[in-house]
Chain A
Amino acid sequence: MRYYLLIPLLPLAGFLINILFGRRLLRDKAHWVSVPLVGLSMVFSLITIGQVISGNVINEDLYTWVVSGDFRVSVGFLIDQLTAVMLFVVTVVSFLVHVYSIGYMHGDPGFYRFFAYLNLFTFSMLMLVMSNNFLQLYFGWEAVGLCSYLLIGYWYEKRSASDAGKKAFIVNRFGDFGFGLGVILIFLTFGTLHYIPVFENASAISGKTIHLLGYEFDLITVIALLLFCGAIGKSAQIPLHVWLPDAMEGPTPVSALIHAATMVTAGVFMVARCSPIFNLSETAMTVVAITGAVTAFFAATIGLVQKDIKRIIAYSTISQLGYMFLACGVGAYSAGIFHLYTHAFFKALLFLGAGSVMHAMAGELDIWKMGGLKKKMKITYLTMLLASLSIAGIPGFAGFFSKDKILYQAYLQGELGRFLWFIGTITVLLTAFYSFRIIAVAFHGRFRGTKEQEHHLHESPPVMTIPLIILAIGAVVAGWVGIPPLIGEAIGLKGSPWFYEFLSPVFGKDQLHHKSAHSVTVELMVMGLSILMALTGIALAFYLYKEKEEGGEVRVRASALLNNRILKRIHTLLWNKYYIDEFYGFIIVRPTNWLARRVVEATVDIGIIEAIVNGVPAFIGRTSERLRRLQTGLVSHYGLYMAGAIFFIIAFIMLLR
């Protein structure tokens, strides 16, 4: 029985039913179809995960997809421990977001369309994580990109929404350009695109080189870096991160599901899946680690000053994804996946909480127009608070265990590792700060919105708050499957953490269990420092954003900081996101337009090719027009031509002799 096929097929059925019959028949009852189908899909995935836990790894081909010569690839499924983790994250979060959307999207004219797209996304994401080969991975990869495009631009009447959708798709295509070439290169190197044979033979090609444009490169490094291009796009890492903040134009449940918990983590999943390839290239690993750490830091700095609640969380997502890549780059794949898994809970929760606030405030996004919400929205406040504690890395919460593991593993990786650990630890402070800035500004203090907003302020209906509560439980307890032995032994847990044990068939045994006194000291130091940073960040946020009366005016201490010229400049730089969008406009968008309009169309197409094409007949026409005049009809003229011609012919023959 291949009932695991139902996991992706049920959401696909939901999509088809809604897209074909939703507009006329189902309309505002679209969720009657979508939600149960995704729920069932979740049930089947939980059963399948149970089987994987009991040791049954599935790897089978369904049918041959494409055959051409020696190229052959199937539609097939690999469900191992890594896929199981992803299945859990995708189906659970997807189901919760579907439920939440019933309330959030209620009354929207495109209700059926929303659920159709959400179903299609779930299907695509499941195909992505369940694939057993690179081409099907690529299918899922592009298909989730499509759903992202459709859902970002869901309110397509808004120019900014359709712009953002288009931007997401095109920026991702830049990354996929490399990813696609990487897939092709894998085929040309290994003669197959199926994971298992590729990974088994990967070590055999280590050391081989490839000629590109007259230079020689290490083959496995080229493959790894090309694949990583795709991850940079999909997981919004620097320099292709620019699409994700704009993607917040989409409805908030979409931000929670696609742009926080699942799709954007596909890059991390892919790098982890390809760990046998990445492990062979030190260069590629270094690039991954540095990209991750740098992104974690820079995205966090931008998040410090934004006013839009969703954009702050979006930059936070980019930053947290950076941590995951940092983990992969230092070889701590299971720590990266662990963070992916805990992040899914607290970040989906942050977005859904933001959505709950927007729902109560008629779509308001500016945190400075909120304030004091904790009185009217107790559940939203409490769940958001738990999520923030989790992301900040307070001990006991999910985010603490995963982030701590990443930082500890980075620290152990030599000098570069220690440098990256340093960046990561600083970023912990930034993370705690921007997270609690939202809490302090939006939920504490007094209300700063309009009278009308204040009048309507209410807690969201249970269909929205129950998913929040479930996710909040996850944000607290999800980390307990990966408690480090250092703490575990103190509270009476035996052996190494379950999560890492579970993933060990995929990534190998966790080798970091040397029990020397030194390592315990180091681990304690890393942990302590990270906790200290988190607490400092939280304290700083509450200190700087606590409201106080000053001459009849309510102010926060943070606004006084802007009187300092240097801080003001930094603020402007961060507020403008380092001007990266402007930079791309300057070096890519405008030159391309200029090239297309002035060079290709005006000069080459019209100026040269068309000029020749139209010029030749025109020349023939003009020449014949002149020659025509020779035909005067007068016999004496023709006699003259004949005499002249005979003269020239005789002269020519004589000369030739």
Chain B
Amino acid sequence: MGYPVLSTVIFLPVIGALILLFISRRQEVAIKGISLLFTTATFLLSLPLFFNFDKSYKGMQFEEVFEWIPAWNIRYHLGVDGISVLFVLLSALIGPLCVLISWDSIKEKVKEFYIALLLIEAAMIGVFSSLDFFLFYVFWEAMLIPMYLIIGVWGGPRRIYSAIKFFLYTLVGSVLMLVGIIVLYFNGGNTFDIPTLMTKEFPYKLQLILFWAFFAAFAVKVPMWPLHTWLPDAHTEAPTAGSVILAGILIKMGAYGFLRFSIPLFPDATKAMAPVMLALSVIAIIYGAVICLVQSDLKRLIAYSSVSHMGFVTLGIFALNQQGLEGAILQMVNHGIVTGALFLLVGIIYERSHSREISHYGGLATVLPVYAGFFMVFTLAAIGLPGLNGFIGEFLIILGGFKASKLAGALAATGIIIGAAYMLWLYQRVFFQEPNPNIRDYKDMNLREIITLLPLVVLVFWIGVYPNTFLSFMHESVKDLLVKLQ
């Protein structure tokens, strides 16, 4: 391919956003059309990352390097390896789906909404492909502002509280990481270049301090217990597209941070702190699952289930072995697909009912059979049914976790029991029994909605039946990561 793939997929949405600035706010169809066009183009142009990625190479690929601020040795350095490439692809895929799902549901300040959406997409992809700490931090924070607006402007009744909470929570974490980045800059030979810094060895004490500084930023994003309380509020109040981005991509940035930075830069501190991290992960898995049992709000339940699922991810990461790490990366993708899809589905029914209360529903399977079928697929994926994507990730994570600590692996597996309980109970209350009078005249999913969900259904089965397509991306880079831990 003769074009700089990463720069293209980062800046294409930005160009789209700039074009939207010049379109009259009354021309809503044009605004939506342009957004769809640019996000779809971004996805299509990101596909070389999938087809041309060299799976036998452990290092960075598709690299682009330019001087940016030479005085500070800051460079515009992009690249992906087996750890980040799937997230760039996932972000590019989520973009058009978010436009499609917002098509009818966003009715106010349409132009501003799509501008914010396009900017978020650019920043997300930027985060996963930056190889310069300065650039990384710019994208990391750039994501915050449009997300804050999306929750605060287009969100539900408690949007202001939730938006501020989300903003402050993440900002406090990020600031500590910024300090850490600056310390790294001075201790690593005045460079922000991530691959260069990875070759350096830092003294144990410094590693430990920096580990916790970065932990603050990443653990809030994941979110790890007990820093999770922004998540249910933000996910619940955000409009559908916002929830999808939060669940699908944004919270992956924290786990990605552990993989990209904490492990290779602070390997000794990572090893020393792994038991603490495993413990926090197991708490998150069980705590998140248990609290789901008593939620009465659809979105809040799915939001809390993210805490549990992300607990699996961090468990896999800090198991610090091949199965755990690969399971964690795969599970991040899986969670993006499945929880993203569940939020899309909740958005679809919310458009009809304007209610998030589970008790508002009942008997949807009779009235909306297609919708019920889609929801069933993702429910089963969420509870880790073999043959679907969630199982492969969870199995590898529990296997890896069990290798690292039998107790942690066994306790994590209890999360699967509770997971089945809350998801099936949710499904029963919403879809089974006699149709609730509230829902009798709801329409089943239309073509636009089906098209939005279909790519995710395909992925659920693809990863479940033939996960090697995706696992093979990771092998070399994860092996390399493990070498650094030796």
B472 touches A67 (CB 8 A): yes
Minimum CB–CB distance from A542 to chain B (whole Å) comes to 43
Cβ of B33 < 8 Å from any Cβ of A?
no
In the assembled complex, A596 has its CB within 8 A of some CB on chain B: yes
Question: Contact partner of B396 among A71, A146, A181, CB < 8 A?
Answer: A71
Known: A67-B471, A170-B424, A596-B291. A181 touches B417 (CB 8 A): no
What is the CB-to-nearest-CB distance from A112 to chain B, in angstroms, rounded to a whole number? 11
- Partner among B165, B391, B407, B414 whose Cβ is within 8 Å of the Cβ of A177: B414
With a CB–CB cut-off of 8 A, which chain A residues contact B365? 156
A596 near B293: Cβ-Cβ < 8 Å: yes
Q: List A contacts of B395 (CB < 8 A).
A: 66, 135, 180
Which residue of the partner chain A has the closest CB to B286?
A600
What is the bound-complex CA distance between A613 and B186, given in angstroms? Answer: 33
**Contact assessment for A617 and B468 in the assembled complex, using a CB-CB cutoff below 8 Å:** no
B290 within 8 A of A: yes
Residues of B within 8 A of A613 (CB): 165, 169, 229-230
Quick check: A597 and B294 within 8 Å, CB to CB? yes
Query: Of all chain A residues, which has the CB nearest B435?
Result: A157
CB distance from B8 to the nearest CB of A (A): 32
Do A601 and B294 contact each other (CB < 8 Å), given the known contacts A68-B323, A170-B420?
yes
For the complex, is B47 an interface residue (Cβ under 8 Å from A)? no
Asked if A173 is an interface residue, CB under 8 A from chain B, the answer is: yes
Chain B residue with Cβ nearest A70: B322
Q: Which residue of B lies closest to A142 (CB)?
A: B386
A180 to B386, CA, bound (A): 11
Using a Cβ–Cβ cut-off of 8 Å, how many residues does chain B contribute to the interface with A?
58
- Size of the A side of the interface (Cβ < 8 Å), in residues, is 54
Say yes or no: A156 contacts B433, CB within 8 Å.
yes
Cβ-closest chain A residue relative to B431: A156
Report chain A residues within 8 Å CB of B291.
Answer: 596, 600-601, 605
Please tell me if the beta carbons of A213 and B399 are within 8 angstroms of each other in the complex: no
CA distance A212 to B398 in the complex (A): 16
> For B326, B386, B466, which residue has the most chain A Cβ atoms within 10 angstroms?
B386
Counting CB contacts under 8 A, is A174 at the interface? Answer: yes
Closest A residue to B295 using CB positions? A601
Interface membership of A595, Cβ < 8 A: yes
Whether A609 touches B432, Cβ cut-off 8 Å, given contacts A66-B471, A174-B417, A596-B294, is no
Q: Which of A23, A146, A211 has the most CB of B within 10 A?
A: A146
B433 lies within 8 A of A162 (CB): yes
Nearest A residue to B434 via CB reads A157
Closest Cβ of chain A: how far from B319's Cβ, in Å? 12
Contact of B402 among A159, A181, A604, A610 (CB under 8 A): A181
Chain A residues 160-181 with CB under 8 Å of chain B are 162-163, 166, 169-170, 173-174, 177, 180-181
Chain A: CB-nearest residue to B287 = A600
Set of chain A residues within 8 Å of B386, measured between Cβ atoms: 135, 138-139, 141-143
Interface residues of B in 190-239 (CB under 8 A from A): 226, 228-230
Quick check: A64 and B366 within 8 Å, CB to CB?
Answer: no
Q: Which residues of A contact B182 (CB under 8 A)?
A: none
Interface residues of A in 38-80 (CB under 8 A from B): 63-71
Q: Counting CB contacts under 8 A, is A539 at the interface?
A: no
Q: Establish whether residues A142 and B428, one from each chain, have CB atoms under 8 Å apart when the complex forms.
A: no
State how many angstroms separate the Cβ of B364 from the closest Cβ of chain A. 10
Task: Say whether B311 faces chain A, with CB atoms less than 8 Å apart.
Answer: no
Q: Are B387 and A143 in contact (CB under 8 A)?
A: yes
Once A596-B291, A596-B294 are accepted as A-B contacts, the answer to whether A156 and B421 lie under 8 Å apart by CB is no
> From B482, which residue of chain A is reached at the shortest CB distance?
A69
Chain B residue numbers with a CB within 8 Å of A575 are none
B385 within 8 A of A: yes
In the complex, which residues 271-297 of chain B have their Cβ closer than 8 Å to any Cβ of chain A?
Answer: 287, 290-291, 293-294
Chain A 168-201, CB within 8 Å of chain B: the 1/0 string?
0110011001001100110110000000000000
Cβ-based interface call for B403 (8 A):
yes
- For the complex, what is the distance from the CA of A657 to the CA of B433, rounded to whole Å? 81
Query: Could you tell me the distance in whole angstroms from the C-beta of A154 to the nearest C-beta in chain B?
Result: 11
Assess the A159–B433 pair: CB atoms within 8 A: yes
Q: Which residues of A contact B468 (CB under 8 A)?
A: 64-67
Cα–Cα distance between A605 and B230 once the two chains are bound (Å): 11
The CA of A169 and the CA of B402, in the complex, are separated in Å by 24
B425 on interface, CB distance cutoff 8 Å: yes
B12 shortest CB reach to chain A, Å: 34
A153 at the interface (CB under 8 A from B): yes
- Quick check: is A519 within 8 A (CB to CB) of the other chain? no
**Is the beta-carbon distance between A66 and B467 smaller than 8 angstroms?**
yes
A148 to chain B minimum Cβ distance, whole angstroms, is 13
Q: Does A592 contact B (CB under 8 A)?
A: yes
Contact B399 A71 (CB under 8 A): yes
On chain B, the residues within 8 Å of A595 by CB distance are: 290
- In the bound complex, residues from chain B placing their C-beta under 8 Å from that of A185 are 402
In-complex Cβ contact of B229 among A142, A159, A212, A610 (8 A): A610
**A177, B416: Cβ atoms under 8 Å?**
yes
Min CB distance, A138 to chain B, in Å? 6
Q: Is B392 close to A, CB under 8 A?
A: yes
Report yes or no: A177 in contact with B417, Cβ–Cβ below 8 A: yes
Choose among B290, B424, B428 the residue that contacts A596 (Cβ–Cβ < 8 A). Answer: B290
A206 CB–B CB distance under 8 Å: no
Give the nearest-CB partner of A180 in chain B. Answer: B413
Closest to B323 in A: A68
Q: Are A69 and B321 in contact (CB under 8 A)?
A: yes
Q: Does B451 contact A (CB under 8 A)?
A: no
Interface presence of A593 (CB below 8 A): yes
User: Shortest beta-carbon distance, A627 to chain B, in Å?
Assistant: 20
Minimum CB–CB distance for A3 against chain B, Å: 21
Q: CA–CA, A157 to B323, complex, Å?
A: 42
Residues of B close to A153: CB separation below 8 A: 428, 432
Set of chain B residues within 8 Å of A166, measured between Cβ atoms? 424-425, 428
Encoded as 1 (CB less than 8 Å from any A CB) or 0, chain B from 389 to 433 comes to 001100110110011001101100110110011001100100111
Q: Give, as a whole number of angstroms, the nearest-CB distance from A248 to chain B.
A: 18
Determine if B97 is an interface residue (Cβ-Cβ < 8 Å). Answer: no
B10 CB within 8 Å of chain A: no
Is B396 within 8 A of A68, CB to CB?
Answer: yes
Q: Is the CB of A617 within 8 A of B387?
A: no
Q: Is the CB of A617 within 8 A of B409?
A: no
Interface pairs A-B: 5 shortest CB-CB: A69-B322, A139-B386, A162-B432, A156-B432, A596-B293
User: 28 A-B contacts, Cβ less than 8 Å apart?
Assistant: A63-B466, A67-B468, A68-B326, A68-B327, A69-B323, A69-B326, A69-B479, A71-B322, A71-B399, A153-B428, A153-B432, A156-B365, A158-B433, A162-B433, A173-B420, A177-B417, A180-B395, A181-B402, A181-B409, A184-B402, A188-B399, A592-B290, A592-B293, A593-B294, A605-B291, A609-B228, A609-B229, A613-B169
- Other 8 A-B pairs with CB < 8 A, given A157-B366, A610-B229: A66-B468, A69-B322, A69-B323, A71-B322, A71-B323, A146-B385, A159-B432, A613-B169
Chain A residues close to B by CB (< 8 Å): 19, 23, 63-71, 135, 138-139, 141-143, 146, 149, 153, 156-159, 162-163, 166, 169-170, 173-174, 177, 180-181, 184-185, 187-188, 211-213, 592-593, 595-597, 600-601, 604-605, 609-610, 613, 617
B residues sitting closer than 8 Å to A (CB atoms) are 165, 168-169, 226, 228-230, 287, 290-291, 293-294, 321-323, 326-327, 363, 365-366, 369, 373, 380, 385-387, 391-392, 395-396, 398-399, 402-403, 406-407, 409-410, 413-414, 416-417, 420-421, 424-425, 428, 431-434, 466-468, 471-472, 475, 479
